[in-house]
Amino acid sequence: MKILKSLAVATAVSTLALAAQAETKIGMITTLSGGGAGLGVDVRDGFMLAIEAAGRDDVEVVIEDDQRKPESAVQIADRMIQSEKVDIMTGIIWSNLAMAVVPAATAQDVFYLSPNAGPSALAGKRCHKNYFNVAWQNDNLHEAAGAYANDAGLKNSFILAPNYPAGKDALTGYKRMYGGELAGEIYTKLGQTDYAAEIAQIRASGADSVYFFLPGGMGISFLKQYADSGVDLPVVGPAFSFDQGILQAVGAAALGIKNTSQWNKDIDNAANVAFVADFQAKYGRLPSLYASQGFDTANLILSALDKADVKDQDAFRAALEAADFDSVRGDFKFGNNHHPVQNIYVREVIQEGDVFTNKIIATGLTDHADAYASECNM
Amino acid sequence: MGREKFFNAGMLLALLAVPLMAWQMDDPFVITLATKVAILALAGVGLNIALGLGGLVSLGHAAFFGIGGYAMGILAAHAQNYEPLFTWPFLFEGSNQMPLIWLVAVLASAAAALVIGALSLRTSGVYFIMITLAFGQMLYYFAISWSAYGGEDGLSIWVRNEMPGLNTLDPIQFFGVTFVILCLALWFAARLAQSAFGLALSAARQSQERVETVGLTPFKLRLMAFVISGAITGLAGALFADLNRFVSPTMLSWHTSGEIMIFVILGGVGRLYGPLVGAAVYILLEHLLGGISEYWQIFLGLLLLGMVLFARGGLIGALLGREVAHD
Amino acid sequence: MSLILILEQVLNGLQFGVMLFLMAAGLTLVFGVMGLINLAHGALYMVGAFAAAAVAGWTGSFVLALIASLAAAAAAGALVEVTVIRRLYDRDHLDQVLATFALILIFSEGTRWLFGSFPLFLDVPDYLSGPVTLPGGIQYPLYRLAIIVIGLMVGAGLFWLIARTRIGVQIRAGEADREMIAALGVDISKLYTLVFALGAALAGLAGALVGAIQSVQVGMGEPVLILAFVVIVIGGIGSIKGALVGALLVGLTDTLGGVFLPRLFALLMEPAAAASLGASLASMLIYILMAAVLLVRPSGLFGGSA
């Protein structure tokens, strides 16, 4: 049988002593190896920062790597639920993995708190009382970008995204808020690395701006090539392509670009200031969006544990719904479908010394809820 | 021959004993692991018919594995939503009955193997490896963008499909189903290798001319083998999707083709029980190493490399010697 | 759609093809001379890109970065050849596939262990950045033109090496008859190491050149590897000329297909559906091309026998 990567967050002695008492077991499934590992590492580090700071000896976190494969995520989830009897699960980065794991987990009376993915099905028709999303519904940041485009007076956008469900949701989300014309709409190949053909089409289209959703390496490639092409239309995107983890790889090509996010390191509240400083002290790098989401998720769980025992599901659920914790985003509350109702900001990429980072320049949407909340009958 | 038979029986018994023990000790995850081994071994048994018996190095068997998976996903999704699959020329409803799903999976993957095989078998050697890879990639990209059935998100099913007389949600019962199917497939593969067809296919692998002179067409023999091989791998795909209650394009990716091939080579190409040994060892390694380090794939790579370089003939060959290999 | 846009897209296809050629040349050379299928060729591409990014980070010089990519990939190639690959020459393709698949795992996770999980920065140097205006008013990035030129120069150098030099004679002899060159007194194991390192260096160079306009990250070699295989299979395995023709064909098909298919479908249906369906078909197009070529010519366009 497998040697588990258990992290007992306590001194060994007290863990043993308290093991028989009401211990809360949290299972984290996230991506720690392969190409997308950066995001999972950030969520884990943010989450563990909060757990370790709390210093509670009755909380145990079990962390497992899903390798970004839905099949492995499902099998790890089965094991966590059946063999290790976890009470709460969290950690999944990708929508397709979440869709594979979450419905089965919540149906087996386990709480699931999403620190990143927010597929529309789980916000609408297939919402569940034991499922909470602490990050955003997938469409949110795109909607904010569409709203910002209106505010900025953009009238003729060229939009592109990869040809897969999250890409289609992204463009749908943008169009839901954006009121102008479309100069073009392109679906690129998933994992595509060369965007010369798309950039040529943008140049020829007569657009006044570009909106793109290209997560991970795709976005880095697009931005570098776009900057080098001499097309200098304003670019708007969701935070994913401008986050702390990848911004250094894009470099000056990203400077000045507007992007939408529910969090940034300059949001001025005590929790956030402490989070940014502690994260940097502990891990030697600036926290990313994903780290902030992991941190909030952990603090939400801790706040609910202060109020109720996780074994008392109704009480614990009510404590989660209250969301009575100091979010690094400032105000935080849940809508009827257990998805955040929150401000989404517009950020601009700037340079601080050698480091590329973001600063907030405007609020894109205030107290924004997602479009699927009305379809949810909980 | 005796020693290998003894060894094979031991392997099957071990595969049966481990989950039974886990069942006694109430550790359902070990049962799930054993089920995974049985299903992946079944996929390997399918590939081994093309690879070991026919000498057809297919790097595209993920196509059949995925088609089997999607057969289960699509049928079950329609049954779950009470929408018929199509109404013309006749009414075809979705289903959550395993036997029907298996039948559809086998037929669909056999049909795909017939088309892919008929085209690919015009080439040989490296070209055959690459053209099968190309067909696999075609289906992979198709599945990613096929939004009607979830695209890259895949399809997830609420509950495992049903088998008359059994409760498939109980891990040990579902394991039993996969174990029986694996045994049947092993029995079938053994019979096939000894049959006139199997002998002719083996002969065609070693010498094309020898077969042609007795009036057989190697192309037809190979196509037949490829179709049988694809159908068995497709059945494994349907079971794998049912194990996870989920199907996604990952099942169609070339990594999956590579992994199925690794099971076969690891155990020993052409060995009847090679895929079972290979799948068991691979799954075990994956889970043991995964606990040691975040960079466990380095160790997996080193172990695989050591296997190829120093244990020719796969694990069974290394354990039992090479004297009983097919060639 | 204007003529200028079409010409620009043709240039894009050409540039993509030239880049693929750098990858495919090494792959086809190694197969032609040693009969080896090397799935780890994409890992060498990644090694080149990471070496270039690291050196560019330390020194700020793009030329040094390119030299580093050549050196690092060649060194990694030679090391792997001496320790692993040379034991595989007399094995069947299956063992080669498994062993080089294992090498991919080792290289990918090893690189992640060394450089971390986040993408690295590598940028186009100032003197090659920005667009230039070509005759006819086409605005085209200078760096992409440079890739086309470098690629064609490397291609010409490769043809010269094989047609005109002693090593070339040995390589050609090795393709034709392995026993014969041993009989001629050539140190065959040294020749093999050299050829493998040469192929690796080309892949590393491609990785560094492309890394400047793409993302330098773990796993970047795999999509390119598959494309390079498609290229050499279309061209005929072992043929440098085939690799060149195949690379250009794949580059043009992929680029132009991605641009024109959605437009074609837009004539028949509403734009969003056309964009999606056209993109789906475009992503399958090169595999369809490959299958079609192999059906007409089972050993590729310029291949002898497999």
Interchain pair B32, A95: CB under 8 A: no
Q: pLDDT tens digits for B226-284?
A: 999 999 999 999 999 999 888 989 999 988 998 999 899 888 888 899 999 999 999 98
Cβ of A41 and C117 within 8 Å?
yes
Distances (CA, A) of B49 to B43, B55, B202, B283, C124: 10, 9, 10, 22, 51
- The minimal CB distance from C98 to the residues B122, B142, B308 is found for B308
Q: Write down the domain spans for chain B.
A: 2-320
**pLDDT value of residue A223:** 92
Closest CA to B201 of B326, B41, B45, B42: B326
Query: Residue B125 and residue C226: Cβ atoms within 8 Å?
Result: no
The highest-confidence range among A47-51, B28-32, B212-216, by mean pLDDT, is A47-51
For C95, which of B254, B295, B308 is closest by C-beta distance? B308
Domain A6-117+268-328 sits in which CATH superfamily? Response regulator (3.40.50.2300)
CATH fold for domain B2-320: ABC transporter involved in vitamin B12 uptake, BtuC (1.10.3470)
* Residue B299, pLDDT score: 87
Q: Which of A191, A220, A229 sits opposite C141 (nearest CB)?
A: A229
**Average pLDDT for residues C249-270, to the nearest whole number?**
88
Residues 6+ apart with CB under 8 A from A172: A139, A142
Segment C76-80 shows an average pLDDT of 96
Whether the Cβ atoms of residue C229 and residue A207 lie closer than 8 Å to each other: no
**Contact (CB<8Å) B127/C103:** no
Q: B86 or C289, which is more confident?
A: C289
Determine the Cα–Cα distance for residues B68 and A169; give it in Å rounded to an integer: 28
Instruction: Give the chain C residue whose CA is nearest to the CA of A198.
Output: C259
**What region does A52 belong to: left with phi over 0, alpha with psi -120 to 50, or beta?**
alpha
- The strand pair at A333-334 and A340-352 is best described as antiparallel
Would the CA dihedral through A334, A336, A339, A340 be positive or negative? negative
CATH superfamily of A140-264+343-375: Response regulator (3.40.50.2300)
Nearest to residue B65, comparing CAs of B29, B27, B113? B113
Closest listed residue to residue A214, CA positions, set A196, A201, A195: A195
pLDDT given for residue B6 in this prediction: 86
Q: Binning pLDDT at 50, 70 and 90, where does residue C165 land?
A: confident
Q: Which is higher by pLDDT, C271 or A338?
A: A338
| Residue A106 to residue A123: CA distance in whole angstroms | 14
Residue A6 banded pLDDT, cuts 50, 70, 90? very low
Whole-model pTM?
Answer: 0.84
For residues A114 and A339, what is the distance between their CA atoms, to the nearest angstrom? 10
Looking at the complex, does the CB of residue B141 fall below 8 Å from at least one CB of chain C?
yes
Highest mean pLDDT among A242-251, C30-39, C79-88, C294-303: C79-88
Kindly identify which residue of chain C lies nearest to residue A202, measuring between CA atoms.
Answer: C5
Average pLDDT over residues C195-219: 92
pLDDT band of residue C139 (cuts 50, 70, 90) is: confident
**A37·C9 Cβ contact <8 A:** no
pLDDT at C1: 59
CA–CA min distance B282, chain A (Å) = 14
**Token pair for C200:** 């690796």
Neighbours of chain B (3+ CB pairs under 8 A): A, C
Q: How confident is the model at residue C167, as a pLDDT?
A: 83
State the chains in contact with C (3 or more Cβ–Cβ pairs under 8 Å). Answer: A, B
Tokens representing residue C40 in the block: 């780890």
Residues B64 and B110: their CA atoms lie apart, in Å, by 8
Check whether A11 has a pLDDT greater than 50. Answer: no
A74 and B28 within 8 Å at the Cβ level: the answer is no
Range(s) of chain A covered by CATH 3.40.50.2300: 6-117+268-328, 140-264+343-375
Helices C3-34 and C221-235 sit at what angle, rounded to 10 degrees? 80
- What gap in Å lies between CA B258 and CA A294, rounded to an integer? 34
Could you tell me if A185 lies within 8 Å of chain C, comparing CB atoms?
yes
Contacts of A83 in chain B (CB under 8 A): 27-30
CA-to-CA separations, A261 to A143, A324, B12, C66, in angstroms, rounded: 11, 22, 55, 37
**Whether residue A130 has pLDDT greater than 80:** yes
Nearest chain A CA: its distance from C153 CA (Å) = 22
Q: Any chain B CB within 8 A of the CB of C93?
A: yes
Type of residue at A116: N
State how far the Cα of B314 lies from the Cα of B44, in Å rounded to an integer. 14
- Confidence at residue A148, expressed as pLDDT on a 0 to 100 scale: 95
Residue of higher predicted confidence among C263 and A278: A278
- pLDDT above 90 for A78: no
Nearest to B29 among A70, A83, A103 (CB): A83
Lowest mean per-residue pLDDT among A368-372, B313-317, C156-160: B313-317
- Give the pLDDT confidence of B299-319 residue by residue, as tens digits: 888 988 988 888 777 788 878
The answer to whether B262 contacts C284, with C-beta atoms less than 8 Å apart, is no
CB proximity A225 to C under 8 Å: yes
Mean pLDDT across the stretch B188-211? 88
Tens-digit pLDDT profile for residues A109-120: 999 999 998 988
**What number is the average pLDDT over the span A322-336?**
93
**Could you state, in order of their start, the residue ranges of all structural domains in chain C?**
12-218
CA distance B221 to chain A (A): 35
Burial of A352 (0-12, 13-18, 19+ CB in 10 A): exposed
Tell me which chain B residue has its CA closest to the CA of residue C95: B308
Percentage of the residues of chain A whose pLDDT score is greater than 90: 66
User: Do residues A168 and C276 make contact, with C-beta atoms less than 8 angstroms apart?
Assistant: yes
In the predicted model, what is the mean pLDDT of chain B?
A: 88
Check whether the bond before B89 is cis (ω within 30° of 0): yes
Say yes or no for a CB contact (<8 Å) between A193 and C282: no
Which residues of chain A have a CB within 8 Å of the CB of C118?
38, 245-246, 248-249
Give the pLDDT of residue C178: 67
Given CB atoms, is B316 within the 8 Å cutoff of chain A?
no
Q: Does the beta carbon of C229 lie under 8 angstroms from any beta carbon of chain B? A: yes
| C99 touches B: beta carbon within 8 Å | yes
Average pLDDT, chain C: 88
* Interface contact flag, B51 C31, Cβ < 8 Å: no
Give the residue ranges of DSSP H helices in A284-312: 289-307
User: Pick from C37, C106, C283: which is nearest to B298 by CB?
Assistant: C106
In chain B, residues 238-257 whose CB comes closer than 8 Å to chain C: 254
Task: Name which residue leads in pLDDT, C240 or A26.
Answer: A26
Report chain C residues whose CB lies below 8 A from the CB of A245: 118
Phi, psi of C270 (to 5 degrees): -75, 150
Does the beta-carbon distance from C283 to B262 stay under 8 Å?
Answer: no
Q: Which residue has the higher pLDDT, C158 or B150?
A: C158
Query: Max Cα separation, chain B?
Result: 60
Q: Distance, in angstroms, between B8 CA and closest chain C CA?
A: 23
| Mean pLDDT (whole number) for A267-276 | 95
Confidence tier at B147 by pLDDT (50, 70, 90): confident
